[in-house]
Structures are given as C-alpha cells and as structure tokens.
Chain A
Amino acid sequence: MATEYVKYVDVTKCDGCRACMVACKNWNDLPAEPQDFLGTMQSHANVTADTWNVLTFVEHENSKGNLDYLFRHSSCFHCTDAACEKVCPENAISYTDKGMVVVDQDTCVGCGYCVQNCPFDVIQLKNYKDENGKEYRKAHKCTMCTDRLDEGLQPACVTTCHTGAMEFGEKDDVIRKAEKRVNEIKERYPNAMVYNPKGVGGTHTIYVLAEKPSVYGLPENPKVPTSAVLWKDYAQPIGKAMVGGVAMALAGAFVANKFFDKKNGGHEDNGGGNHE
C-alpha cells in the first residue's frame, strides 16, 4: 500500500495573508476572477473552477466574549471516499497513489454530477467554447499540485506559506501533529479540534480548526451522499448498459438535480465558503 500524504492546515497559525491563493493561481496559470464586494475581506464566496483555493474570513465572538478573527485556507479536501470519484459516470476522477483526488480533463464530459454531490462544494464547472463555437464544460478543483509532487516538490500553497500554518507530510505523522497541536491550544481555543471527517473516510487535507466546523461554515459530519452510492453502484451500470455512457451521464445529472440534489435532501447542507 503506497504511503498516503496529507496537506496539514493549522488555521491557528494562519494570519490570512493569502499568499497561498496567489501561489495557486501562479503555479496553475489560472485567470483572475474579481468578484463584487462581499462585505468582508473574503474575495470569493466559494472556490470556483478558476479559483481553487479561497481564504475564508470569519468574525466570531467566542465563548469568553472576546473577538476571534478566523481564517481558513479552503480548497478540495481530497476525501478518502470521494463522492465526486464515486459518481463520475466517465470514471474521469481517480485517486493517485498518494491519496489525492484528480480529474482527468480529457475524459471529463462536464456533466456536473460531481458538482452536485461534493459535500464541500469544492468542485465546479467551467464553460468553454471550441474552435467551432460549440460550448462544452469541464470540472476543475485543487489538484494538490500532483505535478509538483511527482517532482519531489510540495504543493505551491504549502511552499509559500510563511508561518508554517501549512505543511505536507505522511498521513500518520500529520494526524499525530494535529492532535498534539489541539492539546497545545486548548486554553486559547477551547473548541479547537482536528477536522478529518470520518463520513468521507477521512481526508487528505486535514485541519486543526480553532472553532467548531459550523463556525467556519463547514459541515459537522459530512458523508458521501447515499444517493450517490445508489446511483453509481446500482442504477448507473444498468442504465449504461441500456442507453450508453454520455446519455446516461446527462440523464444522471438531470436525476440528481431533481431527486438527489444535495441541497434538498440526502445529506447535510454546507455553506462552502463563508462570510458574515
């Protein structure tokens, strides 16, 4: 079994500088997408197909009555049991040997099923036009810089982080480190915890949060939606055999929207990026 690696994010060391956002855009050659004014320092309401990492800013009056200004580097969690991987009708999404979840852009047909099922709202579609003017879509999200990992480098965001709030290392080491850190900061942050949700089999972006997940707009207990399991493991294989791959995928997206849309049923809602 190959060694699993994890991006460790200790939000209590983050000072919200956002160099990690620029590093990600720079390394991945992503275009800028300035947004309307959101009312806080947060630049984007949520990650998008072109903005794979968003720093969220939360002003929180804590249990001691003092103000906490909480920052979180938010990007793909690279779940062990990734809903996106599960539901993709084209098998365009897969796991690397280090445990990262990646999208094969050539195989992706842009059905959006992954978008509908991600418990964290981190994978998004982008619209394109080919040379004949025909529109198509592709799904994008944080790649954990697998191209850098293959060269023995660390993800661009981790390398850039100047406070050491982010590190990249072997899963077991990181989990130990995270738990140790939570103990160290319990006095300052009584609700501090390690966020490594079991409902998705644990993730490869593991957080030390200063507060409960809901304060950050994160789901307390995210899971792979049941609908996704039913769909992928049962309905889809049968359907594909009957009407063919792409048609099935599109039908699947339609069905997902109507019946298994995670916003209405199935599992816990989340706000993705959060602001006041």
Chain B
Amino acid sequence: MTNHWNDLQHTDVCMIIGANPAENHPISFRWLLKARERGGKIISVDPRFTRSSSQADIYSPLRSGTDIAFIGGMIHYAIENNLFHKEYVAKYTNASFIVKESFKFNDGLFSGFDEGTSSYDKTQWAFETDKDGNPLKDEKLENPRSVFQLMKKHYSRYDADTVSTVTGAPKDDYVKICELFCSTGQVGKAGTIMYAMGTTQHTVGTQNVRSYAMLQLLLGNIGLPGGGVNALRGESNVQGSTDFALLWGDLPGYLGAPKAIPEHATLKAFLEKETPKSGYWINKPKFYVSLLKAWYGPNATKNNEFAYQMLPKGNKNYSHISLFNAMYKGELEGAFLFGQNPVVGGPNAGKEKESLSNLKWMVAVDLWETETSSFWQKEAGSDPSKIATEVFLLPASASFEKEGSITNSSRWMQYRWKAIDSRGEAKADLEIIHVLATKIKALYKNENTPAAQPIKALHWEYGHGDHPDIDIVCKEINGYDYNTGKQVVGFGALMDDGSTCSGNWIYSGFYPEEGNNRSKARDSKNTDGGTNFLNWSYAWPANRRILYNRASADPSGKPWSSERAVISWDGAQKKWVGNDIPDFVPTKAPTDEGGMNPFIMLGDGVGGMYAPTLNDGPFPEHYEPFESPIPNVFSSVEMNPTVKVWDGEFNKKGNNKDFPIVATTYRVSEHWQSGSMTRNQEWLSELVPHMYVEMSEELAKEKGIKNKDKIVVSSARGDVTAYAMVTKRFKPYKLKGGMIHHIGMPWHFGYKGYATGDTANRLTPHIGDANTMIPEYKAFLCNVRRAD
C-alpha cells in the first residue's frame, strides 16, 4: 500500500475494485465505516454483489478481466470533464514530458513490437531529451506529443458506452461512479482505491494496477491521507515475503537478481547496467554490496567482487508456472514446498498435481498433511504404486508457536512473540532453514567442485546448535558496520565498499541500536503522527507511513489543503514537519534541486503517468483474458501480446462455444487460501462446510438448475462438482455480442479436513501476467450442467 489501514478513515471516496474487504480483510471495514461516519462514500465494483457491496453507496458489476476498460473510461471522464488536479499533474507527474515521434499506437499494438519474440523494443517509447539527457517538457500539457495529450488520445476510445458494452457495467451506474470518484480530484478531497487479487491475477494484472495509479495521479490522490493505491495483500506476511525476494527476479529489497548475460558478468558491469542515473536508486551499489556482505561475510571482499560470482545466475523464467512446466516435463529432480499447497492453490491444479509425481523427491513443510504433501495417496485420487516420488513432511510451527515479524499490507513490520510451544517435532521455519543450511554446509565442507563453492562461501553464524538466535538475524537484516559491529541507523548509512552489511536495505533502520528493535514498538497513543501511529511497529522505509507524502504539499511546500495535510516545509526550522516521517530528504527545501520531486524512487522524481519500462506498453490497454467470451472491442489484438504462452497438454485452451460462461474464483471470510488451516478448524468448517458455485437465477433457469442442486462446472482443463447457489447477486451481463453469463466460486476446497470439496483451481489456466507471471486465476471460460 502507499498508505495504510488506519488511514482509510480519512477518505472521501473509497473505490473497492478487484477486492472484497468486508469478507477478506474485515478489519479494514472498521476504518471504512469510520470514513462513512465522516461523510465518506464507498463504491464497490465486482463481478457479483458481495458482502462489501452490501455496505457500498454505489455498486456496479464488472465482467472479470475488464478493469482497464473500466478505469480507462474513468481516466477519459476525468480529462473530458476537467476533474483532474491540474497543477499536481503538471508538476508532479511525467504528464508534461514529450515523447519521441517513434512512439505510436495502432490497433492494439504499440510501436516496436516483434512478433517473433512477442516483445517490444522499448527504446521506441523513450522521451525527447535535451543535450544533457533531461526530458523535454510542456507544463501547459498542450503539446500533442506530451504524455498528457497522448494519454488523452489513447483513452478517448474509452467512452462510457463502449466501456459499458465491454464490462457489463450499466451505463447510468458507471457514470455515477465516474462522477463520484472523480470528485476527489478537487483540492481538499482524497479518494482511495483498494484492490487485491481480483485486480492482479490476470494476464494484464500489472497494467490493471497501472491504470489505478494513473487515475490516482490524475486526481492528485497520491501522498494524501485517505488517498493512495492500496493493495490488500492476500496473506498476513506476503508483503514481508515479497520484500525478501519471494519473486524469482528479485534479491531482498527489490534488488534485481543477476542473469547469465554478458552485461552481468562482473559486479562492476552489473551495477553499471542496473543502477539508474538519477532518483534514489542511484544508491543501489550500496544496498547490493551490503547484501553480499551479509550473505558471504568475510568471504566477500573487495578483491573477489564481494563474492558476486557466488550468486546463482540463470536466464530462464523461474516463475511458479515455469517451474511446474519443468516439473511436468520431468526436468526437475526435487522441490521444497514451504507452506505451499499447489494441489489446491495452483493454477490448472490437476496438472500441477500430476507434475509433482515426476519429482524424484519432494519436501513439504507444513503444519500437517495437506492435499499437496499427500498428493501421492489413494485419498488424493492417485495410485501410489505408480508414483516414485519420495515425499518428506517436515512439521512446521504455527504462527503463535514461534517468534518473528510479520509485515502487513501497510508495510508495518510487527514483531510477534511465541505464545505456546509447538507440538511434537514441529519447528519454526527459521530453525528448519538453519538446520538445513548448517547440515548442507557440513556435507560440502571438504568438496572443491564449482557446485560446492557458493555453499562454502555462505557465511552462516546465527548461533550455535540447532536453535538460531533470531536477534542476530534481526541485526543483520537491519545492517551493521562490519568492522565495529555497530548497527546502522538506516539505509542512508549503507556503503558500497564492504564496510557495512544489510540483509535487506528497505528494512534498514528498524533496529538502529542495541536494545531498540522498533518492530516491537507498541505505543497505541496518538502522540506522534495522529492516526499514523508512528510509535506502533516500524513501517518501511524509514517508518514512513504515507508514501510520497511530499506530494501532499504544493511545489512551494505548503499543503494543498489543510483538510488533507501530512507534511509541510517549515522555513524557520529548515525542515519538513508534520504527522509523518517525510518521504523525502528532511532538510531539502522546495527551492533546492529536486525540492519539488516527490516521487524519489523514480529517475525523474515525478510520478509515472507514462511507464515505458513495462513489457506490455507504457499505457494500459484493454485486452481480453486468455479465454474470453467475446472478441476484443478495442482492437483486433485479442490477448495481451507479450504474455508467455504454454500450450499443448500443459495449458489446454477452451473456446467460447464449448465454454460460453465466464468464471471467476474468490475467497470467503471463513476460509483462507487453500483451506489447509481453516478446513481443519471445526468452527470455521461449520460456517462454510460445502463447495458451491454462485450463479444467477437466469442461468439456473436456462440450465434447469434449482438452488442446492449438485452441478458440474467444466473447463478445458478439468471438472468440479459442487452445489449450486442460485442468487440475485449475479446477473447476466449485457455485452457487445449478446448476453453472457458469469459465475463464481470459492477456491478454498480440497479433499482433506473437516470441510471438503472439489478444488476450483482444476479449472483455471496455466498462463500469467506479462510482467510478473501471476496466474490468470480470475477470468476463464467454463460450462455448467446438472450433475445428475
């Protein structure tokens, strides 16, 4: 999130899209209802009417996979009706930048597309620059080659009528939503967008989020209390996980992982290529070397490129889908699955289950047996005699049985203490990794092969015996001076000469001195920062609660409005003051160089209305999902052209004749993820004991289905048998090309536990987003029939 949970209470309008917080992030509703009491409004945009919609002031249906059309239309509306915050857009975004003539857009494709590689030559999208490499601008936003005018032209195709025929949103409700949300473009008002996997789990997921960011920049809502682009993370510590390089292309702190390419052959070459020339990322070498020093300790020196050659480097796509494809083809020998249940949670789950049996060995780290750790059993529908995989189950401690931190959607790192002992042999992940590392290092101790080098070089000193000292880990993450052992006060103190180490620069500062682990801070009084609660937990970076808060003040340093103020420039004290840590150099005056550039992480210091670094284009463009019921209305390019497509048996595709119904998956309050915890808890299982599929009364009538009937939902990839929940909360979609039916179902069910049922993900496709590879779980085609 750019903002945080408590901050939601300050919003004037909250648009919930691709999310269902009343059900899946219930505590957020406490804050939204507070916003309501202050006159705030709630908009709910969702394929069906949810428990969140019941609390909304306006609800609109949205065919799953059409966010860009919906938001593109809102961008169009804001521009046409002059509802955007003009000065903010001109000064704080790259809307004024002039784009090279080589940038074009025609019939669904941007210039520079290469059909052979399904990728773009992004140099075609560059800005016009002066002789010093600075982008040319027109702050009046009138130049036809300015980002603003190009954006206006691009979204002129997204008029309300067209949007309505693509998304299924009734035009009247859609215009009401545009009017209400775009009213937050006024100075003194703030609008927030709350989103989750309904937004991200699409082949255009990244561009969906981009469209929200563009709208919010247009309305001047970034950096304000009650504003922002706010991702509701789907797991209590997934924010922490992604911060620590959950994604295959990252190293901790969103540092890029090196590839096996000539440009990355040496540390010097890598840093030269990957360090931007401006913006805060110019400090990347300091973070990188400090990370290497943390991992390789005394084995990382100036003379050996700080052990850079010990880092594994590969050129493949190592995403979840790719790994399972490799597994499917028999190319992977073994796998560790830490708290992961792909037999229920993976896309094309049936294929993923099949793929597991090609492994020679598998280690499942789980609280107890899940559908995945028992994939080979008869109960799972497998024939154990035909499966040669050796499966190990390492029992893991649950969250209350161990110590450590969790980072929530708001980037708040909150330390947790152990409440009870684990049962039996269960261990904390920290211990499991520690024992694995020490034993593997011992095994390779006397080997001198190339494979042994990185393992031997790894510096592993986290305490003795089987139990690591978590405090040592905390200090290393924060970072310390390698020579004195003294902890660093923040990432500003990290060096690129090997004198400092830090396991994750963005967290640097949470443990600035002995005895002061700020993630343990629990001061709930509003002493500092009002509802920003600066003394409760530690928010990365540097305890900043509202990111880009410099943008809450105008170029001269005065808040745009007193109602939505965060920080302001105090000329007498020569620093930024307010109720948050400035997301800015605290002593940099508005008149200093860069004093009016709030978006410090980007090279140009301004928000990206235009984003030429993404794989699928600098502007979001609507494409249909991999499986779509109708042709793309906006262009003749049906699907995102840069998506990696696996075909054949691994990813069977359904056509809209055999599978005319749009399906989506979602969660319920009562269950969580693949259900391995909640479906083993009796009181939760009692609340939602059965797998069901929600459908409209109209569809049910067509198919002769009555409420509570057993039905079969089928896609090109599998079948699911479940109960029909016939409801008014789904209605048929009136789209260009006719009436389309839309159904939805929870994806929590599997065959283990108290509450069991068929797994929805047996239906979903093996394809992902063009930038992140997140699977397209949320929009696919299916058909429905009675089970008897």
Contacts and interface: CB of A to CB of B under 8 A. Distances in A.
A41 B688 contact: yes
Nearest to A13: B33
Contact of A16 (B22, B682, B690, B725): B22
B54 A25 contact: no
A15 B685 contact: no
Interface in B1-44: 22-23, 26-27, 29-30, 33
Interface in A31-54: 31-41, 43, 51
Nearest to B58: A66
A26 B683 CA distance: 8
B727 interface: yes
Contacts of B50: 69
A32 B726 CA distance: 26
A201 interface: no
Contact of A163 (B29, B59, B689, B707): B29
Interface residues of A, number: 34
A59 B729 CA distance: 8
A276 B22 CA distance: 22
A34 B52 contact: no
B728 interface: yes
Contact of B687 (A21, A31, A61): A21
A68 interface: yes
Interface string A143-182: 0000000000000000000111000000000000000000
B49 to A, nearest CB: 6
Size class of the contact patch on chain B: 35 or more
Nearest to B755: A34
Contacts of A238: none
B380 to A, nearest CB: 22
A83 B573 CA distance: 72
B728 A43 contact: no
Given A16-B22, A17-B22, A59-B727, A67 B684 contact: no
A65 to B, nearest CB: 12
B725 A39 contact: yes
Nearest to A16: B51
Contact of A71 (B49, B54, B689, B727): B54
B687 A162 contact: no
Contact of A59 (B23, B29, B708, B728): B728
A109 to B, nearest CB: 29
A175 to B, nearest CB: 20
A194 to B, nearest CB: 19
A167 to B, nearest CB: 13
B322 interface: no
Contact of A32 (B26, B49, B685): B685
Contacts of B668: 41
B412 to A, nearest CB: 18
B688 A43 contact: yes
Interface string B708-741: 1000000000000001011111000000000000
Contact of B683 (A22, A39, A41): A22
Contacts of A255: none
Interface string B661-693: 000000011100000000000111111111010
Contacts of A70: 54
A32 B33 CA distance: 31
B758 to A, nearest CB: 13
A78 interface: no
A59 B22 CA distance: 17
Contacts of B687: 18, 21-22, 43
Closest 6 CB pairs of A and B: A32-B682, A15-B22, A69-B54, A32-B686, A34-B689, A39-B707
5 contacts: A15-B51, A17-B23, A21-B687, A34-B685, A37-B690
Given A33-B686, A61-B728, 9 more contacts: A15-B23, A15-B52, A16-B51, A17-B669, A26-B683, A32-B754, A38-B708, A41-B725, A67-B728
